[in-house]
Amino acid sequence: MEFCPDCGKVLFPKDGKFSCDACGYEKVVTEESKKQYEVVEKVDKEDTIIVTDDNVKTLPTIKVICPKCDNKLAFWWLQQTRSADESETRFFRCTECDYTWREYD
């Protein structure tokens, strides 16, 4: 929550700015702070892929066609998505082009 530096009232978001109803003070939301919000939202929404280039080579492979390069072999692993009551999702990573995708049921 943002507070007015002039009168101490709560600032309300309006037109990309925070403005004070009491005295008319306006605080511009800077690009910098917008970016921080976006990054946090992104991390929260996307399923985090835990596989890194270091450990992917230890994964089992499966015959599956890469949607990107038509290669027929991919590494695969199971991963719990964000909500715990969902079943695990299978992820694939192409052995050729490193394209990573998930299996939808």
Q: How far apart are CA 78 and CA 97, in angstroms?
A: 20
Q: How far is the CB of 5 from Zn ion (least distance, A)?
A: 8
Under the binding rule (CB under 5 A), the answer on residue 74 touching Zn ion is: no
Q: Which of 2, 3, 6, 103 binds Zn ion (CB under 5 A)?
A: 6
Identity at 68, one-letter amino acid code = K
Whether 85 is a known active-site residue: answer: yes
Catalytic, 41? Answer no
Burial of 14 (0-12, 13-18, 19+ CB in 10 A): exposed
Binding positions for Zn ion, 13-72, rule CB under 5 A: 20, 22-23, 25, 66, 68-69, 71
Measured CA distances, 47 to 41, 42, 52 (Å): 12, 10, 14
- Which positions lie near Zn ion, rule CB under 5 A? 4, 6-7, 20, 22-23, 25, 66, 68-69, 71, 94, 96-97, 99
Residues marked as catalytic? 85-86
